[in-house]
């Protein structure tokens, strides 16, 4: 049987410090697997420049003119990791398998070979799962773990400790590309696709160079994306809360009326103000959550194109 053509898809945002290292390491992995007959000679790496402001695209162009196995696409502006990854995957539909990995190689590229073995054994999706987070700060570890717990509680099905390091077969990729949503949380979509899946484990290391491109702000927005794109539980909680509060307030109204007819004047504006503030606060909270979803409907209804490829070196 002909070995499969593998594309390694690498989103890059201001990664000039790590690009060379990443390229060398991934090329070695590919050459090694070609040598072992596990993948086809046409296997390659696709770098996606996600609107970097540094020399990332220049470096990709140079590498791509020097080496056949390097290809690149450049997005017209920064669209974020998830969209960059989708853009990269969307140009690999001719390959038999794709593996997505971050440019900083915090994910252990040596397990790509195990992923390919799992594919050959019949799996369509192979998740890279971290089995140790010692390289993460306490804060990152804590927030990530709480997030996965919360997601499970909210009924969102995802593989815990798996980010976007995974292998997809051609049919899994084609299925993924049929999700046309704007708000992307890819790791939540993958389990929805189905097909046989497997996991490979690795320990996550430090970034080789440069800084994290995922500041707290982006982490929180990804988490919010994950929750509001896949779960309606927050809306249900709001409805439950509204229900409870309305029961409590009708009891309160009844009590006030009885006091009034019995001639006991209820005095003290503090309690009144408190009640008003409380209800006002809860209402605001509810409006906020509803607004989240309405905003999503609004965005989805526009069906805007997710990205435009400004330039590419696919034909090199």
Indicate the helix (H) or strand (E) that contains 176.
helix 170-176
Residue (49 or 124) nearer to Mg ion, CB: 49
Q: Where are the alpha helices (DSSP H) in 97-169?
A: 112-120, 138-153
Cβ contacts of residue 41 below 8 Å, gap of 6+?
Answer: 34
Residue (23 or 193) nearer to Mg ion, CB: 23
The yes or no reply on residue 50 touching Mg ion (CB under 5 A) is no
The yes or no reply on residue 175 touching Mg ion (CB under 5 A) is no
| 211 secondary structure, DSSP code | -
Residue (78 or 231) nearer to ligand UDP, CB: 78
Q: Which one of the spans 6-14, 58-66, 147-155, 287-295 is the region binding ligand UDP (CB under 6 A)?
A: 6-14
Pair of tokens at residue 27: 């090329």
Region 12-31 residues binding ligand UDP, contact defined as CB under 6 A? 12-13, 15
| Long-range residue pairs from 85-88, CB within 8 A, at least 24 positions apart, any chain | 85/9, 85/11, 85/48, 85/164, 85/186, 86/177, 86/184, 86/186, 86/306, 86/307, 87/48, 87/306, 87/307, 87/309, 88/9, 88/10, 88/11, 88/46, 88/47, 88/48
Q: How far is the CB of 213 from Mg ion (least distance, A)?
A: 7
309 phi and psi angles, rounded to 5 deg: -85, 120
Q: Which one of the spans 44-52, 85-93, 98-106, 224-232 is the region binding Mg ion (CB under 5 A)?
A: 98-106
Residue (50 or 96) nearer to ligand UDP, CB: 50
Scan for tokens 């009708």, then name that residue. Answer: 250
The yes or no reply on residue 175 touching ligand UDP (CB under 6 A) is no
Q: How far is the CB of 140 from ligand UDP (least distance, A)?
A: 8
Using CA atoms in the order 176, 39, 74, 23, what is the torsion angle rounded to 10 degrees?
Answer: 130
| 281 secondary structure, DSSP code | H
The yes or no reply on residue 14 touching Mg ion (CB under 5 A) is no
The yes or no reply on residue 44 touching ligand UDP (CB under 6 A) is no
Region 199-258 residues binding ligand UDP, contact defined as CB under 6 A? 212-214
- How far apart CA 50 and CA 306 sit, in angstroms, is 12
What are the Cα distances from residue 55, in Å, to 50, 59, 122, 266? 12, 6, 40, 71
Residue (165 or 230) nearer to ligand UDP, CB: 165
The yes or no reply on residue 61 touching ligand UDP (CB under 6 A) is no
The yes or no reply on residue 11 touching ligand UDP (CB under 6 A) is yes
The yes or no reply on residue 49 touching Mg ion (CB under 5 A) is no
Q: How far is the CB of 29 from ligand UDP (least distance, A)?
A: 16
Position among 56, 106, 109, 228 found at the interface with Mg ion (CB under 5 A) = 106
Residue 199 near residue 154 (C-beta atoms within 8 A): no
Residues that bind ligand UDP (CB under 6 A): 11-13, 15, 50, 78, 80-81, 84, 102-104, 106, 212-214
Residues that bind Mg ion (CB under 5 A): 102, 104, 106
């Amino acid at each position: 049987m002909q070995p499969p053509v593998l594309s390694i898809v690498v989103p890059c945002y201001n990664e000039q410090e790590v690009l060379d290292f990443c390229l060398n390491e991934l090329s070695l992995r590919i050459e090694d697997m070609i040598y072992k007959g596990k993948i086809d000679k046409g296997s390659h790496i696709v770098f996606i420049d996600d609107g970097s402001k540094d020399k990332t695209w220049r470096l990709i162009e140079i590498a791509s003119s020097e080496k056949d196995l390097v290809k690149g696409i450049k997005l017209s502006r920064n669209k974020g990791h998830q969209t960059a990854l989708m853009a990269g995957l969307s140009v690999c539909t001719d390959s038999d398998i794709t593996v997505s990995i971050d440019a900083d190689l915090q994910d252990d590229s040596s397990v790509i070979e195990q992923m390919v073995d799992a594919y050959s054994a019949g799996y369509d999706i192979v998740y890279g799962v971290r089995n140790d987070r010692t390289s993460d700060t306490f804060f990152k570890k804590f927030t990530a773990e709480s997030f996965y717990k919360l997601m499970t509680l909210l009924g969102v099905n995802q593989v815990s400790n798996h980010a976007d390091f995974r292998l997809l077969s051609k049919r899994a990729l084609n299925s993924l590309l049929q999700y046309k949503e704007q708000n992307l949380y890819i790791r939540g979509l993958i389990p929805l696709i189905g097909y046989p899946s497997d996991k490979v484990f690795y320990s996550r290391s430090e970034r080789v160079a440069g800084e994290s491109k995922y500041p707290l702000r982006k982490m929180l927005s990804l988490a919010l994306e994950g929750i509001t794109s896949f779960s309606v539980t927050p809306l249900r909680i709001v409805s439950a809360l509204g229900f409870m509060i309305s029961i409590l307030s009708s009891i309160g109204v009844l009590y006030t009326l009885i006091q009034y007819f019995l001639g006991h004047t209820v005095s003290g504006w503090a309690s009144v103000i408190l009640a008003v503030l409380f209800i006002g606060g809860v209402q605001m909270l509810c409006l906020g959550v509803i607004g989240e979803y309405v905003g999503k409907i609004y965005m989805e209804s526009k069906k805007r194109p997710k990205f435009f490829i400004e330039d590419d070196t696919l034909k090199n």
